[in-house]
């Protein structure tokens, strides 16, 4: 299987061999599709986080995982087939596109995330929308060993990490969820802080130090969550990139936890 991250040089050399996916999305409501149409890596298709990578919002959170069948149908309709390799990017350091890459890798497909996102692309951008012929993508169950449900997130002996910005972890109010704070015992590890000033990942030694600071070394059991199960995927890919194992995803994340008033919460750093 491919490494979880690739650089722009690798993507340039393999542009004709992969399906390039633009997975831009914005929490503030801006249009990811408009961003794609304003300029994307040549040949890239646009993938919609809301409809292609998520079920409708509800009690399971703002971006629940789709059923395996729904995910397979979405991939096939985009022109991604069983034998295709995917390279995905966004304009947020990979924090959004990681969702697609993690989902594909979890069920055994080759997928990689462009380190540095669209800003790392050295060539010209295209404004020509791209569509691919429909393809055959076989539905596969989400692997239980890679996932953690809401009750496991509450009672696990694994290290639970929160990938949101530190202020949201601490309890800053926002318009996204009904309660604010974090899962009791969870440790703050904002995934965007894995990036250097150039928007690319810090070197592996620096990344390992960041994980070690919250109690994670090679072989440590980890459950990763964030606001709605998107950025949490980036933390898991970075963890794998740093040689620390693969961890588990809590897909409902804070958006599911905060909807249940019986679930306790903590605030503060």
User: What is the tens place of the pLDDT at every residue in 141-159?
Assistant: 999 999 999 999 999 999 9
pLDDT at 26: 97
Distance (Å, whole) CA 208 – CA 210: 5
**82 dihedral zone (left: phi>0; alpha: psi -120 to 50; beta):** alpha
User: What is the tens place of the pLDDT at every residue in 168-187?
Assistant: 999 999 999 999 999 999 99
pLDDT at 9: 97
pLDDT at 169: 98
Q: Three-state SS for 146? A: helix
**Residues paired with 21 in a beta bridge:** 45, 88
Strands 45-46 and 111-114, sheet pairing: unpaired
Distance (Å, whole) CA 86 – CA 98: 12
Q: The domain 144-257: what is its CATH number?
A: 3.40.250.10
pLDDT at 57: 97
Section 226-245 average pLDDT: 98
Chain Cα centroid distance, residue 155: 24
pLDDT at 149: 97
Distance (Å, whole) CA 74 – CA 88: 16
| Residue entry with tokens 């300029």 | 39
Q: What is the DSSP letter of 234?
A: H
| Spatial CA neighbour of 159 closest among 69, 221, 98 | 221
Q: What is the DSSP letter of 9?
A: H
Distance (Å, whole) CA 260 – CA 30: 28
Q: Three-state SS for 223? A: strand
Q: What is the layout of strands, in order, in the sheet containing 187-188?
A: 187-188, 159-162, 222-225, 248-249
Length of the chain: 269
Distance (Å, whole) CA 153 – CA 159: 9
Give 138's pLDDT tier (boundaries 50, 70, 90): very high
Q: Which stretches within the chain are classed as H helix? A: 8-13, 32-38, 49-52, 68-78, 98-106, 150-155, 166-170, 204-212, 231-241, 253-257
Q: The domain 5-120: what is its CATH number?
A: 3.40.250.10
Q: Would you please indicate which residues are annotated as catalytic (active-site) residues?
A: 226
Give 27's pLDDT tier (boundaries 50, 70, 90): very high
pLDDT at 263: 97
Q: Three-state SS for 118? A: helix
Section 126-144 average pLDDT: 97
CATH 3.40.250.10 positions along the chain are 5-120, 144-257
User: What is the tens place of the pLDDT at every residue in 195-209?
Assistant: 999 999 999 999 999
| Spatial CA neighbour of 198 closest among 115, 122, 125 | 115
Share of the chain above pLDDT 70, in %: 100
State the pTM of this model: 0.98
Section 240-262 average pLDDT: 97
Average pLDDT over all residues of the chain: 97
């Amino acid at each position: 299987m491919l490494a979880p991250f690739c650089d722009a040089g690798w993507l340039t050399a393999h542009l004709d061999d992969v399906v390039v996916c633009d997975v831009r999305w914005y929490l503030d409501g801006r249009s990811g599709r408009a961003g794609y149409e304003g300029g994307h890596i040549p040949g890239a298709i646009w993938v919609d986080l809301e409809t292609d990578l998520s079920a409708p919002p509800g009690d399971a959170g703002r971006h629940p995982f789709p059923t395996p069948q729904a995910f397979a149908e979405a991939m096939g309709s985009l022109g991604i087939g069983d034998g295709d390799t995917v390279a995905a990017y966004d304009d947020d350091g990979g924090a959004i596109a990681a969702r697609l890459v993690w989902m594909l890798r979890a069920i055994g497909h080759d997928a990689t995330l462009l380190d540095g996102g669209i800003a790392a692309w050295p060539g010209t951008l295209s404004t020509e929308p791209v569509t691919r012929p429909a393809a055959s993508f076989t539905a596969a169950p989400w692997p239980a060993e890679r996932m953690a449900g809401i009750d496991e997130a509450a009672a696990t002996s694994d290290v639970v990490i929160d990938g949101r910005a530190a202020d949201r972890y601490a309890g800053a109010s926002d318009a996204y969820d009904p309660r604010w704070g974090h899962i009791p015992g969870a440790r703050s590890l904002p995934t965007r802080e894995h990036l250097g000033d150039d928007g690319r990942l810090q070197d592996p030694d620096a990344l390992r130090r960041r994980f070690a600071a919250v109690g994670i070394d090679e072989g440590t059991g980890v459950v990763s969550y964030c606001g709605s199960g998107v950025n949490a995927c980036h933390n898991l890919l970075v963890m794998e990139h740093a040689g620390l194992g693969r961890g588990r995803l809590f897909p409902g994340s804070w958006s599911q936890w905060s909807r249940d008033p019986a679930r306790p919460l903590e605030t503060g750093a």
